[in-house]
């Protein structure tokens, strides 16, 4: 049965919210001058941890201590469309929400692309901090008939956020945003002390000078992973054909653009990252994988394997699993004609040419609130205006262990990933509009945010309530 949407009275952007689950810049070595053709290339020896009044260190426990760890997990075989689901609008009239992060105490932080970080607790909603984002990060009005690529600016602005694992003892919220200086665009990873009288004044740069773009391909999702390292996805900043005689920037392992980064909370490289080399010198040790175009979602399989979503060119959107040091091929390989014969890491899903999904934030769902979606990757899609449910399964699974593809699409071509195949289904199509991110709450509840006020939504969006945070639940 197809999911359906329920409306009920809810709270406005600056009103009480109930029912949710329980400074100075310290530059850390980008904007280097080692090579003018690689703006952010630096000597790895120049990467210094950021200084803080708090102890930023975290316990890197064994993977087995992760609360979602399940090495024996199995993919479901039934269709996720068997779920009869509805949505409850919790917050309305947000300004292009981009990411959300639950704190250990149950507080919820959200980023709005226009530059504001919001905090929700069990009774109230408030502005926390404001980032000085590039000018073209505006939101159109709720219910507006305006639209088009530039109606509300570019794809840059305030993007991913993540709460420090030791919050509230370490009351820091990390954020990633696009800014402009002297006509050039960059991305900056920072944190804010949200316990301060004016958290905006406490902005501290963890990584600065990552190549950015006024238009698109800035990434960036943030998340603390199973072992408490901070993961950062970055786009290629539209450097598709950087120089005719040079590799694209996503292939330059001295640049942080077009990469997945894995770092300590103080910005230093995580141990176990790959040792990457280029013809021009050592690669940046904060890089986990490279050759990415515009990854906007990251999560983990229950055995700890990282999995990401990535926007493709002319559709060709992908879901990828990551291994340290993997080169994912952009901008050389992106389809059945260009991956074969290369050593590039292969995608688990590549939707091929045609209609784009524009996959964004994702979560590998392990909760019990929506049992039919348990052990599946849930992906917010923008152009697709839906939630895409991805069932990942072993490539060598027996026929009776393979998930059904009824009303869905199977991805098991011989040029794709050797170990993982997948089936995709679509839910809530054109019911929520552009879905920016899907997240699991600490109690196993499921939430989604929309991106309808960016001027690119269709089919009746934005509504007078957009943008919204919704809770997804079984239908009553």
Read off the pLDDT of residues 59-74 as tens digits, 9 standing for 90 and up.
Answer: 998 899 999 999 999 9
Residue 192, C-beta contacts closer than 8 angstroms, at least 6 positions apart: 117, 128, 129, 172, 173, 175, 199, 200, 202, 203, 204
Res 1 pLDDT > 80? no
DSSP H helices, 268-377, are none
Backbone angles phi, psi at 65, to 5 degrees: -85, -10
Question: What's the mean pLDDT in 411-421?
Answer: 98
pLDDT band at 45 (very low <50, low <70, confident <90, very high): confident
How many angstroms from the chain centroid is the CA of residue 45?
29
In the prediction, which pLDDT does 40 show? Answer: 64
The pLDDT of residue 8 is 32
Q: Does residue 239 have a pLDDT over 50?
A: yes
What percentage of the chain exceeds 90 in pLDDT?
A: 80
Question: How far is residue 429's CA from residue 432's CA, in Å, rounded to a whole number?
Answer: 7
Residue with the larger pLDDT of the pair 327 and 137:
327
Report the mean per-residue pLDDT for the chain.
Answer: 90
Residues 6+ apart with CB under 8 A from 197: none
Residue 371 main-chain phi, psi, to 5 deg:
-60, -30
**Pairwise CA distance, residues 332 & 143, whole Å:** 41
CA distance 404 to 79: 6
User: 303: burial class by Cβ within 10 Å (0-12, 13-18, 19+)?
Assistant: middle
Residue 46 has φ and ψ, to the nearest 5°, of: -90, 0
Residue 23: partners with Cβ closer than 8 Å, 6 or more residues away: 193, 201, 202, 203, 204
Report the range of poorest mean pLDDT among 20-29, 212-221, 331-340: 20-29
Measured CA angle at 128 (ends 126, 130), to 5 deg? 125
Q: Identify the pLDDT of residue 200.
A: 98
Q: Domain ranges in the chain? A: 44-474
Return the pLDDT at 44: 78
The pLDDT, as a whole number, for residue 149 is 76
DSSP H or E run through 437:
strand 435-440
Interval 142-189: pLDDT, tens: 999 888 877 877 889 999 999 999 999 999 999 999 999 999 999 999
Q: What is the pLDDT of residue 145?
A: 87
Q: Which CATH architecture has domain 44-474?
A: 6 Propeller (2.120)
Looking at residues 100-122, what average pLDDT do you find?
95
């Amino acid at each position: 049965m197809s999911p359906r949407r329920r409306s009920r009275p809810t709270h406005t952007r600056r009103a009480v919210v109930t029912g949710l689950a329980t400074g100075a810049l310290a530059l850390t070595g980008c904007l280097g001058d080692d090579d003018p053709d690689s703006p952010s290339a630096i000597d790895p020896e120049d990467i210094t941890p950021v200084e803080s009044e708090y102890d930023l260190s975290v316990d890197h426990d064994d993977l087995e201590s992760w609360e979602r760890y399940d090495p024996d997990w199995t993919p479901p075989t039934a269709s996720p469309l068997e779920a009869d689901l509805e949505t409850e609008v919790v917050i309305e009239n947000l300004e292009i929400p981009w990411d959300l992060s639950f704190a250990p105490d149950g507080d919820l932080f959200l980023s709005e692309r226009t530059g504001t970080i919001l905090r929700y607790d069990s009774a109230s909603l408030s502005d926390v901090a404001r980032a000085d984002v590039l000018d073209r990060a505006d939101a159109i009005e709720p219910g507006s008939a305006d639209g088009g690529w530039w109606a509300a600016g570019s794809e840059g602005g305030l993007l991913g956020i993540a709460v420090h694992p030791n919050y509230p003892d370490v009351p820091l919220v990390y954020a990633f945003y696009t800014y402009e200086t002297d006509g050039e665009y960059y991305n900056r990873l920072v944190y804010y002390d949200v316990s301060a009288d004016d958290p905006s004044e406490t902005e501290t740069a963890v990584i600065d000078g990552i190549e950015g773009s006024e238009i698109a391909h800035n990434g960036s999702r943030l998340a603390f992973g199973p072992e408490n390292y901070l993961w950062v996805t970055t786009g290629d900043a539209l450097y598709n054909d950087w120089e005719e005689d040079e590799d694209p920037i996503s292939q330059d392992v001295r640049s942080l653009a077009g990469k997945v980064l894995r770092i300590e909370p103080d910005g230093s490289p995580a141990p176990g990252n790959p040792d990457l080399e280029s013809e021009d010198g050592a690669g940046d040790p904060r890089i986990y994988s490279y050759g990415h175009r515009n990854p906007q979602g990251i999560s983990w399989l229950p055995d700890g394997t990282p999995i990401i979503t990535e926007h493709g060119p002319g559709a060709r959107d992908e879901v990828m699993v990551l291994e340290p040091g993997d080169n994912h091929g952009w901008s050389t390989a992106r389809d059945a004609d260009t991956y074969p014969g290369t050593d590039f890491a292969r995608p688990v899903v590549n939707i091929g040419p045609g209609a784009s999904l524009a996959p964004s934030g994702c979560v590998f769902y392990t909760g019990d609130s929506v049992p039919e979606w348990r052990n599946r990757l849930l992906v917010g899609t923008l152009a697709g205006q839906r939630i895409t449910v991805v069932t990942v399964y072993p490539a060598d699974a027996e026929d009776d262990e393979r998930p059904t593809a009824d009303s869905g699409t199977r991805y098991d071509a011989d040029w794709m990933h050797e170990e993982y195949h997948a089936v995709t289904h679509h839910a809530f199509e054109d019911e929520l509009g552009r879905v920016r991110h899907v997240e699991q709450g600490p109690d196993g509840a499921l939430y989604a945010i929309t991106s309808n006020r960016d001027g690119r939504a269709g089919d009746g969006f934005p509504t007078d309530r957009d943008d919204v945070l919704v809770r997804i639940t079984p239908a009553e």
